[in-house]
């Protein structure tokens, strides 16, 4: 007859702690002593996440509002409703001055003032814009060109020349126009020799520039001829 083998359980074995129960007691002890810290930590994490979410939502809301105000101002500028454009850009700068849209509004507000004939405010707006470091090179160059035109129309030729020279120093797509403008305001100031030199230097450095015929005509108006090799039409 088969018999079942039974292990002998010793009193000593009963006194040994069970491995699972040991771990369970350890976890229970940890939770008991650290539960408040765990809960507090979880609450802090959730609170920080909620704050970041609210900040993110606020930033997005501000950006949307700023973009909408800029769009309204830019649309008004294109429609030649300069007063509305000024109002929209002014409102954007007052309410959301730190946004990317506000940086663009600072430039286009100057254009709105200029197109409406308000030269003093256009000058101030463009000066403020060109003195900042946030302006992209392309818009900074255009702003300096516009500032030069404003000064030129205000008959402040020395400052006009300075603005054009700063635009030329950027070495962007308006560089040649800026160099010709410098020579033009020198001529308007009555600085004939300086103007002639500026025009001739331009032709010597870039003899086939699109502005070539304008420069040759300007020299003819001053009673001098273009440098040798520049009097004929460009090939």
3-class DSSP string for 198-235: HHHHHHHHCCCCCCHHHHHHHHHHCCCCCCCCCCCCCC
Average of per-residue pLDDT across 44-55: 50
Helices first, then strands: H and E counts in the chain: 10, 0
Who wins on pLDDT, 224 or 229? 224
According to DSSP, residue 116 is labeled: T
Q: Which of these, 138, 107, 100, 142, lies nearest to 122 by C-alpha position?
A: 107
Per-residue pLDDT at 212: 92
47, pLDDT greater than 70: no
Q: What is the pLDDT of residues 82-104, one digit of tens each?
A: 999 999 999 999 998 888 888 88
CA distances from 218 to 36, 41, 209, 226 (A): 85, 77, 15, 9
Look at residue 182 in the predicted model and tell me its pLDDT. 96
Task: Name the one residue in this structure whose structure tokens are 């946004």.
Answer: 99
Residue 23 has pLDDT above 60, yes or no: no
In the predicted structure, residue 53 carries a pLDDT above the cut 70: no
Residue 32 has pLDDT above 80, yes or no: no
pLDDT tens digit string along 103-136? 889 899 999 999 999 999 999 999 999 886 667 8
Hey, how many other C-beta atoms are within 10 angstroms of the C-beta on 194?
A: 15
* pLDDT (tens digit per residue) in 200-214: 999 999 889 999 999
What CATH topology corresponds to 136-228? 1.25.40
CA atoms within 13 A on the CB side of 121: 16
Q: What confidence category does residue 149 fall into, taking pLDDT thresholds of 50, 70 and 90? A: very high
Tell me the CA end-to-end span of the chain in Å, nearest whole number.
Answer: 121
Q: Is 136 left (phi over 0), alpha (psi -120 to 50) or beta?
A: beta
The residue ranking higher by pLDDT, 55 or 42, is: 42
Contact 178, 149 (CB under 8 A): no
The values of phi and psi at residue 209, to 5°, are: -65, 155
Would you tell me how many other CB atoms lie within 10 Å of the CB of residue 201? 13
148, 178 contact by CB (below 8 A): yes
Which has more pLDDT, 158 or 45?
Answer: 158
pLDDT band at 4 (very low <50, low <70, confident <90, very high): very low
Stretch 206-227: mean pLDDT, rounded?
89
């Amino acid at each position: 007859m088969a018999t079942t083998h039974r292990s002998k359980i010793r009193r000593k074995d009963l006194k040994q702690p069970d491995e699972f129960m040991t771990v369970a007691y350890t976890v229970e002890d940890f939770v008991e002593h650290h539960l408040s810290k765990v809960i507090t930590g979880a609450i802090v994490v959730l609170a920080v996440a909620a704050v970041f979410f609210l900040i993110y939502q606020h930033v997005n809301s501000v950006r949307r509002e700023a973009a909408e105000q800029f769009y309204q101002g830019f649309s008004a500028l294109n429609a030649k409703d300069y007063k509305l454009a000024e109002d929209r850009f002014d409102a954007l700068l007052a309410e959301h001055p730190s946004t990317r849209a506000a940086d663009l509004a600072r430039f286009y507000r100057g254009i709105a003032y200029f197109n409406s004939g308000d030269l003093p405010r256009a000058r101030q707006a463009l000066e403020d814009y060109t003195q900042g470091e946030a302006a992209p090179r392309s818009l900074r160059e255009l702003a300096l060109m516009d500032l030069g035109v404003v000064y030129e129309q205000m008959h402040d030729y020395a400052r006009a020349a300075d603005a054009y020279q700063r635009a030329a120093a950027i070495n962007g797509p308006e560089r040649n126009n800026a160099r010709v403008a410098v020579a033009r305001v020198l001529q308007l100031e009555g600085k004939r020799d300086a103007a002639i030199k500026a025009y001739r230097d331009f032709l010597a450095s870039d003899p086939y520039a699109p502005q070539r015929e304008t420069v040759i005509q300007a020299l003819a108006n001053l009673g001098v001829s273009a440098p040798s090799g520049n009097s004929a039409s460009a090939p």
